[in-house]
Amino acid sequence: MHVHSKLAVVGAAVSLWFQPGAAQTCANVSTTQTYDYIIVGSGAGGIPIADRLSEAGHSVLLIEKGPPSTGRWGGTMKPKWLADTNLTRFDVPGLCNQIWADPSGVSCTDVDQMAGCVLGGGTAVNAGLWWKPHPDDWDTNFPTGWQSKDLAGATEKVFSRIPGTTAPSMDGKRYLSQGFDMLGGNLGKAGWKFIVPNDNPQLKNRTYGHSTFMYSGGERGGPLATYLVSASSRKTFTLWTNTVAKRVVRTGGHITGVELECNGAGHAGVVSVTPTTGRVILSAGVFGSTKLLFRSGIGPTDQLNIVKNSADGPTMIGNDSWINLPVGYNLNDHVGTDIEIAHPDVVFYDYYGAWTKPIVSDTETYLTNRTGPLAQAAPNIGPIFWEIIKGADGVLRHLHWQSRVEGTLNTSMTVTQYLGTGSVSRGRLTITRQLNTVVSTPPYLHDENDKAAVVQGLINLQESLASVANLTWITPRSNVTAAQFVNSVPATPSRRGSNHWIGTAKIGADDGRTGGKSVVDLNLKVYGTDNLFVVDASIFPGMITANPSAAIVIVSEHAATKILALPPAAA
Ligand SMILES: Cc1cc2nc3c(=O)[nH]c(=O)nc-3n(C[C@H](O)[C@H](O)[C@H](O)COP(=O)(O)OP(=O)(O)OC[C@H]3O[C@@H](n4cnc5c(N)ncnc54)[C@H](O)[C@@H]3O)c2cc1C
Ligand SMILES: *[C@@H]1O[C@H](CO)[C@@H](O)[C@H](O)[C@H]1NC(C)=O
Ligand SMILES: *[C@@H]1O[C@H](CO)[C@@H](O)[C@H](O)[C@H]1NC(C)=O
Ligand SMILES: *[C@@H]1O[C@H](CO)[C@@H](O)[C@H](O)[C@H]1NC(C)=O
Ligand SMILES: *[C@@H]1O[C@H](CO)[C@@H](O)[C@H](O)[C@H]1NC(C)=O
Ligand SMILES: *[C@@H]1O[C@H](CO)[C@@H](O)[C@H](O)[C@H]1NC(C)=O
Ligand SMILES: *[C@@H]1O[C@H](CO)[C@@H](O)[C@H](O)[C@H]1NC(C)=O
Ligand SMILES: *[C@@H]1O[C@H](CO)[C@@H](O)[C@H](O)[C@H]1NC(C)=O
Ligand SMILES: *[C@@H]1O[C@H](CO)[C@@H](O)[C@H](O)[C@H]1NC(C)=O
C-alpha cells in the first residue's frame, strides 16, 4: 500500500495535529495519479468497502481527515505507561472513554456533537460494542434488496472477520462482574431470559446478556485491525491521513474527482477518478457526508444558499447545476434515557484514573498478558437487556438497555434505555455559514407512541426490580412516576443523545428530486448523479435496535457487492 510517508509514518507532521490551536496542515500528496474509486472517510462505512473494492482489483484511494489512531497505523497518543509499547490510547479497551476526558485532536471540530475524526472514525474511539442485528432492524425500514434475508450473506462475512467477544480479557475471565451479577441476576429472577446475544440476535424481548465487543487479542480490533490490514497489503490501495476533502468536482451529474482543502498555507488540489468509469464514495459519517454533499451543491436549496454565502461561495458550483435532494432531513439517533440505581454489591473501577494514576498491577497484567480490567471497555459495561413493546399504533418498538458501573456513588450503575427500531422520531441536520454541521432539530420524542414505549419500558424495569433487597433508585426517585420522569428530561442531544446518528442521506426507491424522501437509490448512488455514492450511517432510513457500528459495516459489505455489480457509468 501507499501511505503518504510524511504524514502517516514520520511522527513530526502527525504531531502538528495535536498542538492546541494549530491549524490543520495540508497533506503533501500527489494529485497526478487517478483512482477507480476515491473513498472519503475511514470509519465503519469507509474501511470495509475500501477493502472489498481493492480486493476486486480496482485502484482505491481512501482519504481521512484525521491523524492515525491505533499503534499499527502510526498513532502516537498515549499515557506514560504505554510509552515503551506500540499501543496507543485507541488500542486499549480500558481507555476508550478518554475521548470524553480529553477529546482534543480526536473529536471532530466542525460538528456540534461528539464524533471521532481520526483514522477509523467512530470505530477508533467507540466502546467497541458489537451486535448482530435483529431481523426487524432491516425489515422495519429498509427497502427491497436490503431486507434481513438479503443481508444474511454480508452479516456472515462481517462476523467471520470480526466475530466479537463477551470476554475480552485474554484469560477468558470477566473482571469486576459485580454489576452484571447483581442486575442480570435480578432480571433473571424476574423472568428475563439469559442469552448469548450474537448467537440469538432474534431474541430481543425480555432477554439479557453480557456486553459483546469487537475486541480481539485484548485490543480494539474491529475494521482497523482486519479490513484495513488486508486492504493495505495490496499495491492498488492508497491511504492518505490528515487530508480533508472539501467537495466533489462534477460536471452536471458526473463526478470527476475530489477537491482537497487546506486551512491557510499548503497546496489544495483535485484528485481525479479514472476518466469515465471512476467513482467517488462518501463515507464521512452523518456529519461529514452531509457537509460534503452541501458543499458539492447537493441538498435542499436553503442549505445550498448558506454554503453560497460562506467562504465557499465564489468557487461553489453554479446554481443551475444544483441537485435538490432532502439531505440532512430524516436525522435520527437512539432516544437515550438514563436511570441510576445503587446496590451495595456493585464495585466501581476508576477507568478515568487509568490514564495518569493506573493501578500498576493492572497495567502489568494488561501489558504482559492482555488480561485484567484494562482489557475490558470503560466503564465496565453490562448487562445489556432488551424488550419489545407494541404501541397503540401497532408498531413494535425495540428497547436496548445498556448498564455501566458509573454514577453518583461508587456502588451505583447508570443504565441507559435506548429507543431504537420502530421509533419514528425525526430530526434535521443543517450547516452554518462557518461550515459547521449542527443538529438544528433534535430527533427525540416527537411522537406520542415513542414516548409511551419509553415510559412503559421504565415501568416494566421498575416492576422487575421491585423486590430486590437493598437496591436504591437514585433516578428516578420513588416519589416521581415514570411518566413524570420521562417528561422531565429535555429532548435535547445533551440529555437524550446516544452518538448513534443516522439517516441524513436515506436509501429508498422514492427519488428525493421528485417529491420522495430518499437521497440515494437502492445501490446507494446519489440521485441525479452517475457515479457518486454514500456508504455510511447516513443511508439508514430508520433506527435499529443496538449500537450501530456492526450494522454499518454490514451495509458497507453489501454496498460493495451492489456497486461492483453495476455497469460502468457513462460520462
Ligand atoms: C464516543 C462514541 C462511542 C460510541 N460507541 C459505540 C459502540 O460502542 N458501539 C457501536 O456500535 N457504536 C458506537 N458508536 C457509534 C459508531 O461508532 C458510529 O455510529 C459509526 O462509527 C459511524 O460510522 P460512519 O462510517 O457513518 O462514520 P464514522 O465512523 O464517524 O467515520 C467517518 C470518518 O470520516 C472522516 N471525515 C469526515 N469528514 C471528512 C472529510 N471532509 N474529509 C476526509 N475525511 C472526513 C472522519 O474523520 C471519520 O474518520 C459510538 C460513537 C461515539 C462518538
Ligand atoms: C512533497 O512531496 C514531494 C515528493 O513526494 C517532495 O519532492 C516535496 O519536497 C514535498 N514537499 C513538502 C513541502 O514537503
Ligand atoms: C506490537 O509489537 C509486537 C512486538 O513487540 C508485535 O508482535 C505486534 O504485532 C505489534 N502490534 C502492532 C499492532 O503493531
Ligand atoms: C414481550 O414479552 C412480554 C412478556 O413476556 C410479552 O407480554 C409481550 O407480548 C412480548 N412482546 C412482543 C412484541 O413479543
Ligand atoms: C442563481 O445564481 C445567479 C447568479 O449568482 C443568481 O442571479 C440567481 O438569482 C440564482 N438563482 C436562484 C434560483 O437562486
Ligand atoms: C502472565 O501470564 C502468565 C501465565 O499465566 C503468568 O504466569 C504471569 O504471572 C502473568 N503475568 C502478569 C504480569 O500477570
Ligand atoms: C470511589 O472510588 C474512588 C476510586 O476508586 C475513590 O477514590 C473514592 O474515594 C471512592 N468514593 C467513595 C465515596 O467511596
Ligand atoms: C441488605 O443489607 C443488609 C445490611 O447492610 C445486609 O445484612 C443484607 O445481607 C443485605 N441483603 C442483601 C440481599 O443484599
Ligand atoms: C421527591 O422527593 C424529593 C426529596 O426527597 C424532593 O426534592 C422532590 O421535590 C420530590 N419530587 C416530587 C415530584 O414530589
Q: pLDDT tens for residues 134-162?
A: 999 999 999 999 999 999 999 999 999 99
Give the Å distance between the CA of 468 and the centre of ligand 8: 10
Do 126 and 242 have their domain in common?
yes
Task: Give mean pLDDT, residues 33-37.
Answer: 96
pLDDT digits (tens, 9 = 90+) for 326-352: 999 999 999 999 999 999 999 999 999
Half-sphere exposure (CA, 13 Å, Cβ side) for 161?
A: 21
Which of 462, 479, 496 represents a domain boundary (last residue)? Answer: 496
Site to probe by mutation for ligand 4, drawn from 192, 205, 207, 459 as the one with most ligand atoms within 8 Å of Cβ, is: 205
Which of 248, 145, 237 is CA-nearest to residue 524? 145
Cβ distance 391 to 452 under 8 Å? yes
Burial category of 319 from C-beta neighbours within 10 Å (exposed 0-12, middle 13-18, buried 19 and up): exposed
Whether pLDDT at 7 is above 90: no
Do 454 and 515 have their domain in common?
no
Do 389 and 519 have their domain in common?
no
Do 19 and 90 have their domain in common?
yes
Q: Tell me which ligand sits closest to the C-alpha of residue 332.
A: 1
- The CA distance from 274 to 266, in Å, is 25
Do 194 and 318 have their domain in common?
no
User: Model confidence at 192, in pLDDT bands (50, 70, 90)?
Assistant: very high
pLDDT at 321: 98
Whether pLDDT at 363 is above 80: yes
Cβ distance 452 to 411 under 8 Å? no
136 domain-assigned:
no
> DSSP letters of 286-302?
HHHHHHHHHHTTBS-HH
396 domain-assigned:
yes
Which of 50, 34, 48 is CA-nearest to residue 278? 34
Whether pLDDT at 20 is above 70: no
- The CA distance from 485 to 458, in Å, is 10
Whether pLDDT at 177 is above 90: yes
Task: Return the amino acid letter for 179.
Answer: G
Do 12 and 92 have their domain in common?
yes
Do 480 and 542 have their domain in common?
no
- The CA distance from 551 to 534, in Å, is 15
436 domain-assigned:
no
User: Model confidence at 14, in pLDDT bands (50, 70, 90)?
Assistant: very low
Return the residue whose CA atom lies nearest to atom 14 of ligand 9: 479
pLDDT at 105: 96
Give the Å distance between the CA of 115 and the centre of ligand 1: 6
Q: Active-site residue numbers?
A: 500
Residues in the chain: 571
Whether pLDDT at 12 is above 90: no
Which domain CATH number covers 563? 3.50.50.60
- Sign of torsion, CA 148 154 160 163? negative
User: Model confidence at 23, in pLDDT bands (50, 70, 90)?
Assistant: very low
Task: Give mean pLDDT, residues 68-87.
Answer: 97
- Sign of torsion, CA 242 245 33 315? negative
Phi-psi region of 41 (alpha: psi -120 to 50; beta: other; left: phi over 0): left
User: Model confidence at 285, in pLDDT bands (50, 70, 90)?
Assistant: very high
Which of 436, 470, 496 represents a domain boundary (last residue)? Answer: 496
Do 15 and 126 have their domain in common?
yes
Whether pLDDT at 46 is above 80: yes
Whether pLDDT at 489 is above 90: yes
547 domain-assigned:
yes
Which domain CATH number covers 405? 3.30.410.10
pLDDT at 35: 97
pLDDT at 568: 81
* Percent of residues, the chain, with pLDDT higher than 90: 91
Q: Indicate the average pLDDT of the chain.
A: 93
Which of 111, 189, 220 is CA-nearest to residue 463? 189
Do 19 and 116 have their domain in common?
yes
Domain around 527: 5-130+223-331+505-570
CB 309 near ligand 6, within 6 Å? no
Which of 386, 389, 461, 456 is CA-nearest to residue 423? 389
432 domain-assigned:
no
159 domain-assigned:
no
CA 265 vs CA 27, 28, 439, 517: distances in Å: 11, 11, 31, 40
Do 341 and 273 have their domain in common?
no
419 domain-assigned:
yes
* Structural domains counted in the chain: 2
Do 107 and 245 have their domain in common?
yes
- Give the number of the atom of ligand 2 that is nearest the alpha carbon of residue 30: 5
User: Model confidence at 4, in pLDDT bands (50, 70, 90)?
Assistant: very low
Do 247 and 119 have their domain in common?
yes
Which of 496, 517, 534 represents a domain boundary (last residue)? Answer: 496
pLDDT at 53: 98
Task: Give mean pLDDT, residues 110-114.
Answer: 96
26 domain-assigned:
yes
